[in-house]
Amino acid sequence: MSRKPYHREVSKTTWFLKQSRYQHYMLHEISSVFVAIYVGVLIVGLFRLAQGPEAWSGWLAAVTSPIGVIFHILVFIFSIIHTTSWFKAVPQAMRIQRGEEIVPGNLIIGAHYGVWAVVSVVVLLVAGVA
């Protein structure tokens, strides 16, 4: 009665490589790996700060070592991938209505970029580095 069903061969580990949409999706997902490691580095830094000046300068030395710098540049790039793809998805998650009209997505995304710039400058000022 029933024919043999057709099964498309799909690799469980490399399925996302074939389409750019899936590649972008995975790039966004993989950013979490870097965020998780960065959170760990930060927590270690807080402990080092609590332990005293020597421990803190040891942490700073690790952060500024070649491996530390390469890692942070990678985390920085992935954090920006997270930010841009998160903002891109905002209009889909949040529909704002003004009167009869629905606020266009690009306006919402643009506002997010504006807030992002302001937040970044404020954090730089608060941290005393700008």
State which H helix or E strand residue 98 sits in.
strand 97-98
2-61 binders of another protein (CB under 8 A): 12-13, 16, 26, 29-33, 35-36, 38-43, 45-47, 49-50, 52-53, 56-57, 60
As a whole number of angstroms, the distance between CA 36 and CA 91 comes to: 26
Q: List the one residue out of 59, 35, 117 whose CA is nearest residue 125.
A: 117
As a whole number of angstroms, the distance between CA 88 and CA 78 comes to: 15
Binding-site ranges for another protein (CB under 8 A): 12-13, 16, 26, 29-33, 35-36, 38-43, 45-47, 49-50, 52-53, 56-57, 60, 63-64, 68-69, 71-73, 75-76, 79-80, 82-83, 86-87, 93, 112, 115-116, 119-120, 123-124, 127-130
